[in-house]
Amino acid sequence: MAYIEFKNVTKEYYIEEEIKTALKNVSLKIKKGETTLIKGSNGSGKTSILNLIASFDKATSGDILVDKISLGALKDKKNSKYIREYIGFVSYDNYLIDDMTILENTMLSLNISKKEFDTENYINKLGLEEKLNYFPFELSESERIKASLLCAICKNPKILLCDEIFLKTNEKDKKQVMKVLKELASKSKITIIITADDNSKFSFVKQTLTLKDGVIKTNKSPAKTKSTSKSVVKTKTEGGKK
C-alpha cells in the first residue's frame, strides 16, 4: 500500500501574470520506510513535488495522500501539525535560524519531537562536534547543509525530504551526508525522498523517478536487497553542553 500517493496532480504558478506549469498530471506512489530518488534537470518539477509533500504548497488540481491524509483538505492548525509531526526538510537553501547557534537550532528541533534520538551520534557522524557554537553564517555552505540535516532528523520526522543537498557539498561532507542517509535508509522507518540531477545514482534507494518538464518519464525499482530494521533512535543528548 502506498504511504505517499499523487493522483493526477498538476501544480501551476503565476509569475508576472503568466501561468507556469511545474507539474502536469503527475501520479506516483511511494511506500512507507523506503528511499526514493527523484532525478531531473533544473526546473523539471522536483522541488515542487517536495514542497507539495511537505504541505508548504497546495496542488492546483489532483489529490495528494500521505498516510491516508488528504493534504489539500488540511487547514491552518492541522496543516501546521502535519508539518511538525511528519516532515523533516533539508535544502541547499537551508532553513537554519540565523541568530541561533547550531546547537540552539538542534535543540529547537529536539524539543519539537517527543521521541528519544541519538543526537550526539549524528553530530559526530556529520563532523559537527566543533561547530555547535557557531552561527549559520559562520559555516561554509557545505557545513550548513550538514547542520540542516542534523536539525531535520533530530525532530524524528516520518518523512525526510532532501532537496538538491549535494549541489553545494564538498566531497568530504558529501561522504558524511551519504553515510548518514544510507544508515537512516537501512535502520530506521523514515521515508526518505532525495532530489538530484539526471546523473545521480544512490545504491540504497528503492525507487528512482525521472522528471522532465513536470512529467514523470521513467519509474525504476531495483531488485530487493536485505536490510536491517533496527532503530537508530537511542537516547536524547543532554542539552546545553558545549
CA distance 58 to 204: 30
Question: What is the number of structural domains in the chain?
Answer: 1
User: What was the pLDDT predicted at 238?
Assistant: 41
Of 166, 201, 173, the residue nearest 92 (C-alpha)? 166
The cell 553542553 sits on which residue?
A: 241
Q: What is the CATH number of the domain that holds 46?
A: 3.40.50.300
CB-CB contact of 218 with 210 (8 Å): yes
Residue 8 lies in a domain: no
Q: Is the pTM of this model over 0.85?
A: yes
User: What was the pLDDT predicted at 222?
Assistant: 58
Taking the chain (242 residues) in runs of 10, the rounded mean pLDDT of each run is: 95 89 96 95 94 96 96 93 94 89 94 83 96 96 96 94 93 94 90 91 90 89 47 40 42
Cell of 207: 525507487
CA-to-CA separations, 186 to 64, 87, 192, in angstroms, rounded: 26, 19, 11
User: What was the pLDDT predicted at 172?
Assistant: 95
Residue 186 lies in a domain: yes
Cβ neighbours, 10 Å, residue 201: 9
The 10s digit of each residue's pLDDT in 144-161 is 999 999 999 999 999 999
Residue 107 lies in a domain: yes
Cβ neighbours, 10 Å, residue 200: 16
Residue 9 lies in a domain: no
CB-CB contact of 226 with 194 (8 Å): no
Residue 234 lies in a domain: no
User: Helices marked H in 89-232 — which ranges?
Assistant: 102-112, 119-125, 141-154, 171-187
Could you report how far apart the first and last alpha carbons of the chain are, in Å?
45
CA distance 49 to 72: 14
Residue 19 lies in a domain: no
Residue 1 lies in a domain: no
User: What was the pLDDT predicted at 82?
Assistant: 95
The 10s digit of each residue's pLDDT in 89-102 is 999 877 899 999 99
CA distance 241 to 231: 25
Report strand pairing: 61-66 vs 35-39.
Answer: unpaired
Range of the domain at 137: 29-58+72-220
CB-CB contact of 166 with 177 (8 Å): yes
Report strand pairing: 61-66 vs 69-70.
Answer: antiparallel
β-partners of residue 163 are: 91, 195
Residue 20 lies in a domain: no
